[in-house]
């Protein structure tokens, strides 16, 4: 690979936010709390789904997978951000930068697929309730989950090859707080026009393909719910979708603002602010939204709390 033989730049300086330099300690503590809360929240969701019989449904199976994904998704960027806030040398190796860029892109693609699959699950549950348990059997659910991972992995093989063949000959500054695709490509002295075009197209296909599928699923859901006679029936049917819908709006809103436009002429200070939403805030919000909005999750949390209190009294 050309990276290891020809590159004269072996590490990068991550510029980050210019205003944050004056508030490093506060920012470090804030991001550390967010990181720990994200890991804890998603681990709790996974534990609840695996231990409580009432959560042994396809919807919570996919939620468990999404929580597992979010743990890795935020771990790609935030530990390095915390390190750079704590120590004066905000550096990352060229190999580490490419690895961070690749896994962030890979896991982001998987999240798009999982959000689309979760919309499909809600569509079947509301629009085809009699066939739901037959279609969404455990084998098919596992196939959908594995398919989400494989689709993103296969789609990222070619970008990984191109990234590993980039040459970096200065300047070694990346105008971001992590190694995002566009800042990394702008730091290369190799012609990246093909890679930028490919990345722009693949993001459009993945993001808008999954988003369109999700929108169509919810159009069908809304049409079905509108035919329910009682208000309580409509509320009960649509309440199972609210948490997923909030996550979809938050995630896709920030991703579209940042990625689904031409890489040329981007305002990186604006992009860095938007990046915080989908790279840091969204993984934190997911367990909070699902635990607050879903009655089954709240009940499971209550049962877990009672069990822990009982166990503590027994000791």
List pLDDT tens digits, range 151-169.
888 888 888 888 888 887 7
Q: Give the C-alpha separation, 111 to 101, whole Å.
A: 16
Question: How far apart are alpha carbons 21 and 260 in whole angstroms?
Answer: 29
Find the range with the poorest average confidence among 7-11, 112-116, 169-173, 271-275.
7-11
pLDDT tens readout for residues 189-223: 878 888 888 888 888 888 889 999 999 998 998 88
Measured torsion, CA atoms of residues 95, 97, 99, 102, in degrees rounded to the nearest 10? -140
Q: Is 17 helix (H, G, I), strand (E, B) or coil?
A: coil
Buried b (16+ CB within 10 A) or exposed e, 58-72: bbbbbbbbbbbbbbe
Domain that holds residue 279: 2-314
Query: Which comes out higher in pLDDT, residue 293 or 103?
Result: 103
- The pTM of this model reads 0.84
Give tens-digit pLDDT for 89-134.
678 888 888 888 889 889 989 999 999 999 999 999 888 888 998 9
Rounded average pLDDT over 76-93: 82
Q: What is the dihedral of CA 120, 122, 126, 127, to 10 degrees?
A: -10
Please give the residue that has the higher pLDDT: either 185 or 301. Answer: 185
Count of domains observed in the chain = 1
Q: What CATH number is associated with residue 262?
A: 1.20.1070.10
Q: What is the mean pLDDT of the chain?
A: 81
What pLDDT is attached to residue 227? 80
Which SS3 state, helix, strand or coil, does residue 11 take?
A: strand
pLDDT at residue 19 tops 60? no
Q: What is the pLDDT of residue 6?
A: 46
């Amino acid at each position: 690979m050309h990276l290891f033989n020809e590159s004269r730049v072996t590490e990068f300086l991550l510029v980050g936010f210019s205003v944050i330099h004056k508030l490093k300690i506060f920012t470090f503590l804030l991001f550390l709390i967010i990181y720990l809360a994200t890991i804890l929240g998603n681990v709790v969701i996974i534990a609840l789904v695996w231990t409580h019989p009432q959560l042994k449904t396809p919807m919570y199976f996919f939620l468990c997978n999404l929580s597992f994904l979010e743990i890795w998704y935020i771990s790609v960027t935030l530990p390095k951000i915390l390190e750079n806030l704590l120590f004066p040398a905000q550096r990352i190796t060229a190999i580490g930068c490419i690895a961070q860029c690749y896994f962030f892109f890979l896991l982001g693609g998987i999240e798009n697929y999982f959000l689309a699959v979760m919309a499909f699950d809600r569509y079947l549950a509301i629009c085809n309730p009699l066939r739901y348990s037959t279609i969404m059997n455990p084998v098919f659910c596992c196939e959908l989950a594995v398919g989400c991972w494989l689709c993103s992995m296969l789609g990222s093989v070619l970008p990984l090859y191109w990234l590993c063949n980039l040459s970096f000959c200065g300047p070694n500054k990346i105008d971001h707080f992590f190694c995002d695709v566009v800042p990394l490509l702008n730091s290369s002295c190799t012609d990246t026009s093909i890679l930028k075009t490919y990345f722009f197209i693949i993001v459009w296909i993945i993001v808008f393909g999954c988003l369109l599928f999700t929108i169509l699923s919810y159009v069908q859901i809304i049409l079905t719910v509108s035919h329910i006679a009682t208000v309580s029936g409509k509320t009960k049917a649509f309440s199972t979708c609210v948490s997923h819908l909030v996550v979809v709006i938050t995630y896709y809103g920030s991703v579209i603002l940042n990625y689904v436009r031409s890489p040329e002429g981007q305002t990186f200070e604006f992009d860095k602010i938007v990046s915080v939403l989908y790279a840091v805030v969204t993984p934190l919000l997911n367990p909070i939204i699902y635990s607050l909005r879903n009655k089954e999750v709240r009940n499971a949390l209550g049962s877990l709390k009672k069990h822990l209190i009982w166990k503590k009294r027994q000791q």
